[in-house]
């Protein structure tokens, strides 16, 4: 075998060895479509509002005090009772005041009898003065007696009226409709006129909800309150889905320098006594209505370093990353101010598996449109 032949055989063997040891490239793999749930953006008229924390205040608060002094003999209510105007609350011993009424009646009767006698005597001399049958001084004395008698009657009538009022004041009545607090005296206590506190009564229906807004928001409130009566929704923290609807009825006349806020007051019906004075509540002040706002479920928008975005599913089942500008929450929905058109489908579940421009597989059970805005406070 020639030297050239041996060289060729060696080269062929080496090539076969390298070919046998070389690894085959794996076949290219395609990423499967990401499973997602989608919903179509909708348009609705939605409120523009301010959410604040407020506190309930009774519309009327009365501290009941006696108008006459004496001993408490009866109590006619139970602590915490609902009272009507005119209901009897306490009775002060009326016997001393009844005696004063009797004495005043007797004094009045005596003064009336004296006046009648003075008039009779004056009538006798009235025709004689012209003929000078009596002295002018006697005439003036009889006339003065009549005038004094009339003044005495008026004085005693006033004294009788005062005595009757004092007797009436021995029955202490509720001055307003409201709820009684805890009584501060018991039967047998001696109370002093216009000094001893007996009871506090608070009117609960309607009720006030006081809250504050910032100085910047206050100008917006002023602008809208000039156009219409602003609606207010008052909610208990534990009952966010049960708003009580009222109206804005008061704006304070100054900005608090310490906090830069302005106090506002809403008036709300409270026939069921769901709201209680001193209780903290969530207050939503509705400023205006935003027409044809674009809404999507609140879980659709995602956050990135460049701001909020949503995944929009296009007709070819690919996902487009769409930057959006968000507005206010509307229950379980949120307003999209810019970046989205009504009817476009956005991903609400499965965003973690979506890549921009990638294929997606839409869940057949996806809702056609988002649910109506909930009543809960967002």
Task: For residue 40, give the CATH number of its domain.
Answer: 2.40.420.20
Q: Within a domain: residue 154? A: yes
Percentage above 70 pLDDT, the chain: 87
pLDDT digits (tens, 9 = 90+) for 233-244: 999 999 988 999
ω into 206 cis (within 30 of 0): yes
- Predicted local confidence at residue 126, as pLDDT: 74
Do 108 and 161 reside in the same domain of the chain?
yes
Consecutive H or E run containing 211: strand 199-214
- Predicted local confidence at residue 14, as pLDDT: 53
pLDDT digits (tens, 9 = 90+) for 63-104: 999 999 999 999 999 999 999 999 999 999 999 999 999 999
- Predicted local confidence at residue 125, as pLDDT: 77
Question: What is the rounded average pLDDT of the residues 211-219?
Answer: 94
- Predicted local confidence at residue 331, as pLDDT: 87
Q: Within a domain: residue 348? A: yes
Question: What is the rounded average pLDDT of the residues 43-71?
Answer: 95
Beta strand 239-251 with 82-83: parallel, antiparallel or unpaired?
unpaired
Q: Within a domain: residue 122? A: yes
Q: What are phi and psi of 221, to 5 degrees?
A: -60, -45
Residue 261 CA to residue 251 CA, distance in Å, equals 11
Q: What's the predicted TM-score (pTM) here?
A: 0.72
Do 125 and 137 reside in the same domain of the chain?
yes
Residue 326 CA to residue 349 CA, distance in Å, equals 19
Question: What is the rounded average pLDDT of the residues 190-200?
Answer: 95
Tell me which residue of 332, 330, 335 sits closest to 310, measured CA to CA: 335
Question: What is the rounded average pLDDT of the residues 188-207?
Answer: 95
Q: Within a domain: residue 4? A: no
What lies within 8 Å, CB to CB, of 284 at 6+ separation is 49, 50, 51, 52, 232, 233, 234, 235, 243, 377
- Predicted local confidence at residue 376, as pLDDT: 44
Q: How many domains does the chain contain in total?
A: 4
Do 253 and 230 reside in the same domain of the chain?
yes
Mean model confidence pLDDT for the chain: 88
Give the side-chain half-sphere CA count within 13 A for 275. 36
Do 245 and 282 reside in the same domain of the chain?
yes
- pLDDT class of 17 with cuts at 50, 70, 90: low
Domain with 190 in it? 68-93+171-197
Do 285 and 208 reside in the same domain of the chain?
yes
Please state the length of the chain: 378
- pLDDT class of 374 with cuts at 50, 70, 90: low
Residue 24 has pLDDT above 90, yes or no: no
Domain endpoint, select from 289, 323, 341 = 289
Q: Within a domain: residue 370? A: no
Task: For residue 231, give the CATH number of its domain.
Answer: 2.40.30.170
pLDDT digits (tens, 9 = 90+) for 101-158: 999 999 999 999 999 999 988 887 777 766 666 777 777 788 898 899 999 999 999 9
- Predicted local confidence at residue 140, as pLDDT: 78
CB 370 within 8 Å of CB 42 = yes
Residue 200 has pLDDT above 90, yes or no: yes
Do 283 and 320 reside in the same domain of the chain?
no
Do 176 and 208 reside in the same domain of the chain?
no
Residue 282 has pLDDT above 60, yes or no: yes
- pLDDT class of 378 with cuts at 50, 70, 90: very low
Q: Within a domain: residue 255? A: yes
């Amino acid at each position: 075998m020639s030297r050239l032949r041996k060289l060729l055989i060696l080269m062929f063997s080496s090539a076969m060895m390298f070919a046998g040891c070389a690894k085959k490239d794996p076949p290219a793999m395609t990423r499967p479509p990401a499973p997602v749930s989608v919903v179509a953006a909708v348009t609705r008229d939605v409120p523009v509002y301010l959410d604040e924390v407020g506190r309930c205040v009774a519309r009327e608060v009365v501290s009941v005090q006696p108008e006459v002094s004496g001993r408490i003999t009866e109590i006619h209510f139970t602590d915490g009772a609902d009272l009507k105007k005119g209901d009897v609350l306490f009775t002060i011993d009326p016997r001393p005041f009844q005696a004063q009424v009797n004495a005043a009646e007797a004094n009045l009767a005596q003064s009336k009898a004296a006046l009648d006698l003075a008039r009779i005597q004056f009538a006798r001399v009235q025709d004689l003065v012209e003929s000078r049958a009596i002295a002018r001084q006697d005439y003036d004395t009889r006339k003065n007696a009549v005038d004094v008698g009339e003044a005495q009657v008026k004085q005693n009538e006033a004294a009788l009226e005062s005595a009757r009022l004092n007797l009436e004041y021995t029955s202490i009545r509720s001055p307003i409709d409201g709820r009684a607090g805890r009584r501060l005296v018991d039967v047998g206590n001696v109370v002093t006129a216009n000094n001893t506190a007996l009871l506090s009564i608070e009117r609960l229906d309607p009720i006030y909800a006081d809250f504050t807004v910032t100085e910047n928001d206050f100008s917006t409130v002023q602008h809208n309150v000039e156009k219409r009566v602003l609606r207010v929704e008052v909610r208990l923290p534990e009952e966010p889905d049960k708003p009580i609807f009222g109206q804005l009825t008061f704006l304070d006349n100054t900005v608090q320098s310490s906090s830069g806020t302005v106090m506002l007051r809403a008036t709300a019906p409270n026939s069921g006594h769901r709201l209680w004075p001193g209780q903290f509540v969530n207050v939503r002040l509705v400023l205006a209505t935003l027409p044809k706002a674009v809404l999507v479920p609140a879980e659709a928008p995602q956050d990135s370093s460049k701001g909020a975005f949503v995944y929009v599913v296009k007709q070819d089942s690919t996902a487009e990353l769409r930057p959006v500008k968000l507005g206010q929450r509307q229950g379980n929905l949120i307003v999209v101010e810019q970046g989205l058109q009504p009817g476009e489908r956005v991903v609400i579940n499965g965003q973690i598996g979506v890549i921009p421009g990638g294929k997606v597989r839409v869940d057949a059970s996806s809702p056609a449109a988002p649910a109506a805005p909930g009543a809960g406070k967002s």
